[in-house]
Structure 1
Amino acid sequence: MDIFICDDNTLICNEINSLVSEFFRTNNMTMPVFHTFTDGKSLLSSNVRPDIVFLDIQMPELSGIDVGNILHNKYPDAIIIVITSFMDYLDDAMRFNVFRYISKPIDKDRLFRNMQDAVTAYNNRSSTLYVKCGSDYKLINQHDIIMVEASLKQTIIYTTNGNFRTYQSFSEIKEKLAHNYFYQCHRSFVINLNYVVSHNSHNIYLNSNLSADVAARKYSDFKEHYAAYVNSHV
């Protein structure tokens, strides 16, 4: 999970980072990756796809309202939490579907409650994949995905319920695979570690008689990831 924190006051950024870190530790959750920004332009120039965003409203050059609108258009699934002393901006913030609105000074208990809601929303959003297949749209449960393959101009999603072809790019689909049981073993393959049957230095064999190529430079890394995954599920 990638969490953005954007406030022109570095003390506020540090406070949010500290409180959110405490929330994850208290709940025995995997610690997210934090990305801190002191202005909207630097946030918008990031190549990272945000999952949760803490956004101040009053900032130099680009306001939080401007940043929120641009973010929402670029990453409609991003969960945006506005933190500000100025409650007058609530109506404007609603235009980019602000998830929560927290006033300064920050109340720890309220922040923790909102983080619980945000994590729940994140898990719900990341459990499914919305894919355009021809003229139809398919809702695919990520748990059912065995592997994803880049094939010429198409991307093939192999699942326990059949295969789906889409002209959405391989990289776009890969970015939406939010769970840690997905692993890219080759430039053209992402596999679900849940479905690994066996492997060697050339191929990974999966359920449903599927197999994926393994890049030579990735095999050692794959074995480490797979061993860690298996050990965590014993």
Structure 2
Amino acid sequence: MIKFAICDDEPIMVHEISNRLSQYMDGRKITPYSVTSFSNGCALLESGCSFDIVFLDIQMDNLDGIETAKILRQRRNRSLLIFVTVLKEYVFNAFEVEAYDYLLKPLDGSHFERTMDRAVSTLAQRTDKSIVIWRGSSCDVVPLAQIVYCEVQGRKVYVHQRDGKVIGFYDRLENFERQMDSRFFRCHRSYLVNLDYVRGCDTGLVTLPLGAQIPVSRLRERDLTQALLRYMKERDS
């Protein structure tokens, strides 16, 4: 079940996005799915529901789309946020809240389909790819999309997850790295980072969400930039 939310104070736009979603999902034969609409950000936040993809109008009264998204992220909500806006200038604010994409009004059919193709693919990755971490006789099943970065300290590898949980276990980072996919990059001999969470790189540090930073080797800074560009190209294709 893919759960969509549409948050827009214009009923006409809610109706249009809903129709486009139905046409897309039915055309791709993707089932089941649900679409829930909200007329403002407060109603979305108060719903208490967890959605896979949220279409957020940026310009809304009382609580706009950006502020609504900030609160969602503070709650560690992992929904794919797709902003809908009239003005391109607002798009730059979307990066602060890890927006997945943005759509300009009036909606372009081709852009909408491309965005949906990527979003559905991303959801599939989140669902399908996990790793089993053994700790003695117990184990943890961790989705790769949940891992922000890994670090090695002494003889233990520590896996830092998006929800703040850290799992430590005895292994070599090289062995753990072999189980990762193309979204992970060895930015330092002691660090492995998920490229989905990289927000920037400057003066020997990789910036992660919420301002967190980890080191990047000077000799690997250029490789990190190239890996980011290559990964973004693969992801968007």
Same fold, TM-score > 0.5, yes or no: yes
Give the TM-score category using the shorter length: 0.5 to 0.7
1:85: Cα distance to partner?
A: 0.1
Name the residue aligned to 1:18. 19
Q: Residue 91 and residue 132 in structure 1: after superposition, are their counterparts in 2 closer, same or farther (change >3 A)?
A: farther
Contact map agreement 2:56 2:81 (CA 8 A) in 1: yes
Q: Residue 141 and residue 56 in structure 1: after superposition, are their counterparts in 2 closer, same or farther (change >3 A)?
A: closer
Contact map agreement 2:126 2:143 (CA 8 A) in 1: no
Q: Deviations over 1:139-162 (max 9, x none)?
A: 5469xxxxxxxxxxxxxxxxxxxx
Q: 2-side partners of 1:81 and 1:108: how far apart?
A: 15
Contact map agreement 2:8 2:40 (CA 8 A) in 1: yes
For 1:122-137, list aligned pairs within 5 A. 122-128=123-129
1:87: Cα distance to partner?
A: 1.4
Name the residue aligned to 2:111. 110
Contact map agreement 2:127 2:143 (CA 8 A) in 1: no
1:66: Cα distance to partner?
A: 0.2
Q: 1-side partners of 2:87 and 2:109: how far apart?
A: 19
- Give the match's secondary structure for 2:13: helix
Name the residue aligned to 1:121. 122
The sequence identity of aligned pairs, in percent, is 29
Q: 2-side partners of 1:8 and 1:37: how far apart?
A: 8
Q: Residue 95 and residue 131 in structure 1: after superposition, are their counterparts in 2 closer, same or farther (change >3 A)?
A: farther
Q: Residue 38 and residue 31 in structure 1: after superposition, are their counterparts in 2 closer, same or farther (change >3 A)?
A: same
Normalised to the residue count of structure 2, the TM-score between the two structures is 0.55
Q: 2-side partners of 1:108 and 1:116: how far apart?
A: 12
1:73: Cα distance to partner?
A: 2.6
1:89: Cα distance to partner?
A: 1.4
Q: 2-side partners of 1:82 and 1:5: how far apart?
A: 10
Q: 2-side partners of 1:70 and 1:131: how far apart?
A: 31
Contact map agreement 2:58 2:65 (CA 8 A) in 1: yes
Question: Greater CA radius of gyration, 1 or 2?
Answer: 1
RMSD: 2.7
Contact map agreement 2:5 2:54 (CA 8 A) in 1: yes
Q: Gaps spanning 5+ residues in structure 1: where?
A: 143-165, 167-234
Q: Residue 141 and residue 61 in structure 1: after superposition, are their counterparts in 2 closer, same or farther (change >3 A)?
A: closer
Q: Gaps spanning 5+ residues in structure 2: where?
A: 145-166, 168-237
Contact map agreement 1:82 1:102 (CA 8 A) in 2: yes
Q: Residue 93 and residue 51 in structure 1: after superposition, are their counterparts in 2 closer, same or farther (change >3 A)?
A: same
Q: Deviations over 1:20-54 (max 9, x none)?
A: 11001111110411110010000001121010000
Name the residue aligned to 1:95. 96
